[in-house]
Amino acid sequence: MYEVLVLGSGCAKCKRLEAMTSDVINELGVEAVLKKVTDFDEIMKFDILSTPALVINNEVVSFGRIPSKEELRAWFSTPTIEL
């Protein structure tokens, strides 16, 4: 199970990243919980320099840009550690 956070203010790029991430999750059929984080204090906990940002299982994998669908697929094709 993946925990996925899209960090951003709600701008067009943030919405695009959220939509693309949701598409890839659905395409691959992986189990994931996708959440949008717009609270500035919560965003700053991840020590990123710019948004949009993508966090998968508490690890920042991208910030300040929209990754390609190929990058997203690769991140969700890596096995997760079950706790």
How far apart, in whole angstroms, are the C-alpha atoms of residue 8 and residue 64?
Answer: 10
* Predicted TM-score of the model (pTM): 0.90
Q: Tell me the pLDDT tens digit for each residue of 14-28.
A: 999 999 999 999 999
49 token code pair = 């320099």
Token digits of residue 4: 């996925």
User: Domains of the chain by range and CATH?
Assistant: 6-34+50-83 (3.40.30)
Confidence of residue 83 (pLDDT cuts 50, 70, 90): very low
